[in-house]
Every structure is written in C-alpha cells, then in structure tokens.
C-alpha cells in the first residue's frame, strides 16, 4: 500500500541518515557556516565567564559578613535583602560569577560539551535565550529558597542540559545511540559534580534545579522536530541525506522567553523570599 511504502521509505531515510552521520556527512550547504557561528557564540560566553573569574581572582577583598571575597561577588552575587531594596541586577549578574577554579571549569566544560549540540538543533538565537533564561530563573529560584548569598555561574549550563534532554526525547530517532549514551553519562557527571561543589562555596543546588527545569520546559515549547530528507535525487549524488526544519522559530522562542520572564517576575509578588536575620539586623 501507499502508506506502507511511505513508512518503509521513512525508515530507509532514517537508516541512511544515521549511517551518513556516523561517517560525518550530513549534507546541507550551510551546515559548516552555521556551526562556525554557533562556536563563536559558545566561545564568547565561555570567554566572558573566564574573564569575570580572572577579575574575581585579581580583586580579592575581605567581607566576613557576606562570606564573599572578591569585588565582582560583593557587587554582583545574589544577596536577598539587597535585591529587595532595588538591586535587581543581582538576579542576572550571578550567572557569570563562580566560586572557584573547579566551579568555572565545570561550567565551561558543560558549555563546550552540550552547547554545540543544543545550538545545532535550536539555533544560535534560541540557544542564547536558553542560556540567559536559565541563569535568571536559577537565580530567582535560589532567591526564593535560601537567604544565603550565592553565585550561579553553572545555572545557565544546566538549562542547556535540560533543553538537550528534551531534544533527545523528541528527536532521539536521528541521534546515534552511542553518542546519546555518552552524553547522558556526561550529564550525570555534571550533576554529581555540582552537588559536590555546592558544599564548598556559595553555590545553591536550587539554582541548578531551577535552571534545569526551565531548560526542560522552554525546550518543550521551542524544540523543533527534525525530519530526514533524501536529497540524492535532487542533487544527483549517490548518497545525500539532510535534515529539514532544523532551528526553532525565533519569534516563537522570543515569545516564550517573554512569557517566562513575566511568569518569573510575578513570583516576586507572590512568594516572600527568606532573609538572613543576622544580615538584616546589621543592615537595619
């Protein structure tokens, strides 16, 4: 039947795509330039994190009350009572702050490992929105959960892991099984390391939970469905398999991003954040 032939044709395309992908040949004239622009964005984000960390090292200070020991941390970390009096940027800036060399190394490793794959599926614009939204939501969840000052440099990368997970669920058929298993193992390693590091610095696990959850939900609404297209007949080549509808719709991504920001902002008027009583007493 026509339906049966269509189903067999789709399976054949999928099989051919996986074979070509394992060879490193996915086809598509713009794939190389797109991947280059993706790497530029990821490299810029990693460089910003490293540069800020070097500035933290170069500007040590003593502040025993807040347990923050660098200039960027004192003026950019998430500190609840300062946010409540108007320093709202502290819900954003912690996404670029780290507690030490291991913390920034973990963030850069996850960014360089999962970033290219998420960029390849969602596109650079949506990837950037995932990164920023993950950082903000992670800091906000930490703001609503703990009174302790925290930095959230690894929050955005857990949002990236969350978005990658949604892609694996939705488009697992076009992903090599051995690659998926390897990435799942790396995600588990990153999660375990974040738990360990949270015991040795101003890092809140709720930042990671909030960011990962945001990445999952945001990915659910924006992740494109990848389809395999046989281009051999069109190009005259013996073998030619490519993907169609590769990137998330930028307008839809921006709309979902805006709705998320509105929802997160509304939480500030609904939930009262915890405050450090010692700091508040000293501040008052």
pLDDT score, position 60: 84
CA trace torsion 67, 206, 56, 78 (10° rounding)? -70
Distance CA 77, CA 86 (A): 14
* Number of residues assigned to the chain: 284
Let me know if 130 is exposed, middle or buried by CB neighbors in 10 A (0-12, 13-18, 19+).
Answer: buried
Instruction: Summarize pLDDT for 118-148 with one digit per residue, the tens.
Output: 999 999 999 999 999 999 999 999 999 988 8
- Cα 80 off chain centre by: 24
pTM over 0.85? The answer is no
Cβ pair 73, 175 in contact under 8 A: no
28-276 homologous superfamily: Rhomboid-like (1.20.1540.10)
DSSP 8-state secondary structure symbol assigned to residue 271: S
Q: Give the pLDDT confidence of 1-30 residue by residue, as tens digits.
A: 444 444 555 555 555 545 544 444 444 445
pLDDT-based confidence at 236, cuts 50/70/90?
A: low
Structure tokens at 232: 């051999």
Higher pLDDT, 11 or 225: 225
The model's pLDDT over 40-72, given as tens digits with 9 standing for 90+, comes to: 999 999 999 999 999 999 988 876 566 667 888
Burial of 232 (0-12, 13-18, 19+ CB in 10 A): middle
Comparing C-alpha atoms, which of 149, 128, 154, 136 is closest to residue 283? Answer: 149
Mean pLDDT of the chain: 81
């Amino acid at each position: 039947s026509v339906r049966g032939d269509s189903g067999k044709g789709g399976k054949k395309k999928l099989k051919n795509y996986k074979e070509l992908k394992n060879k490193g040949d996915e086809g598509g004239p713009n794939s190389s330039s797109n991947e280059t622009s993706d790497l530029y964005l990821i490299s810029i984000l990693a460089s910003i994190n490293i540069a800020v960390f070097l500035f933290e090292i170069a500007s040590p200070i003593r502040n025993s009350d807040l347990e923050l020991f660098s200039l960027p941390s004192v003026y950019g970390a998430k500190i609840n009572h300062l946010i409540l009096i108007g320093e709202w940027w502290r819900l954003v800036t912690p996404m670029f702050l780290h507690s030490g060399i291991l913390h920034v190394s973990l963030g850069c490793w996850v960014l360089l490992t999962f970033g290219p794959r998420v960029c390849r599926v969602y596109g650079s614009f949506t990837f950037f929105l995932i990164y920023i939204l993950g950082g903000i939501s992670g800091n906000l969840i930490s703001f609503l959960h703990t009174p302790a000052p925290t930095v959230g440099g690894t929050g955005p990368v857990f949002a990236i892991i969350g978005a990658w997970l949604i892609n694996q669920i939705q488009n697992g058929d076009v992903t090599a099984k051995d690659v998926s298993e390897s990435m799942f193992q790396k995600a588990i390693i990153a999660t375990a390391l974040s738990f360990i590091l949270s015991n040795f610095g101003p890092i809140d696990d709720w930042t990671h939970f909030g960011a990962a959850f945001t990445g999952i939900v945001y990915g659910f609404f924006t992740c494109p469905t990848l389809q395999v297209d046989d281009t051999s007949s069109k190009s005259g080549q013996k073998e030619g398999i490519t993907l169609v509808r590769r990137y998330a719709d930028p307008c839809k991504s921006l709309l979902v991003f805006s709705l998320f920001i509105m929802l997160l902002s509304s939480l500030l008027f609904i939930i009262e954040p915890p405050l450090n009583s010692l700091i508040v007493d000293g501040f008052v």
